[in-house]
Amino acid sequence: MKILKILLVGATLLSTLNAEVPQKVKPVKTAKMIKLKKKIKGQWKAYAKSSLTSTKGISAKELDAWMKQGKDFTLIDVREPKEVAAGTIHATDFKAIPAGLVVPTAEKNMAFPADRAVVFYCKVGARSAMVAQEMEKVYDYKNLYYLKGGIKAWIKTGHEIENMMGKFVQAKK
């Protein structure tokens, strides 16, 4: 009964104050805001392009050729665990280490000769390129690559991925 009285008093108070329930307000995009957003996006693209000049990229076709030739390399998926569960590129020497953990745990997880080729990949290539570059800076590895276009490029070029359900290839249109 007390709750009902409190509700009635509250409703009466609101009606006497002529208060309205606030509506959700959409943000207004001004020309200045749009211009600033484009500027920031352009600066990020320029930074990404300039920072990856020393890192070597490898195409999906080149990686496939390495696999078919039996080249000795390590393939490291730097995506997050949920992304990895969706599907991976099958390789003889494969590891899945999230991008944020590769550099800090490199001494433990990357015990291989410095001259061994290592290919990092992610969804579209950006994270893997940054990881490869950081590994070059911090540990002075020279034989590091990133998969250009990431696993998306791998799938788009008709290559196979696998997960716990089996192996899959993108259907041709």
The residue length of the chain stands at: 173
Q: List the pLDDT tens digit at each of the 173 positions of the chain.
A: 555 445 444 555 445 545 454 555 555 566 766 666 666 666 555 555 555 545 789 999 999 999 999 999 999 999 999 999 999 999 989 999 999 888 888 877 666 666 789 999 999 999 999 999 888 888 878 889 999 999 999 999 999 889 888 787 876 66
Q: Which residues pair with 95 in a beta bridge?
A: 76
According to the model, what pLDDT value does residue 9 have?
Answer: 47
Residue in the block written with tokens 């002529």: 18
According to the model, what pLDDT value does residue 107 have?
Answer: 77
Question: Hey, where are the domains in the chain?
Answer: 55-163
For domain 55-163, the CATH class is alpha beta
| Angle value at C-alpha 99, between 60 and 70, nearest 5 degrees | 35
Distances (CA, A) of 29 to 32, 34, 35, 37, 128: 8, 7, 10, 10, 34
H or E element in which residue 153 lies: helix 150-156
pTM equals 0.68
According to the model, what pLDDT value does residue 7 have?
Answer: 46
The 10 Å CB-count burial string (b at 16+, else e) for 78-90 is bbeeebbeebbbe
According to the model, what pLDDT value does residue 104 have?
Answer: 85
According to the model, what pLDDT value does residue 170 have?
Answer: 76
**Contact between residue 88 and residue 96 where contact means Cβ atoms under 8 Å apart:** yes
E strands, 47-143, in order: 56-58, 73-77, 94-96, 117-121
According to the model, what pLDDT value does residue 13 have?
Answer: 47
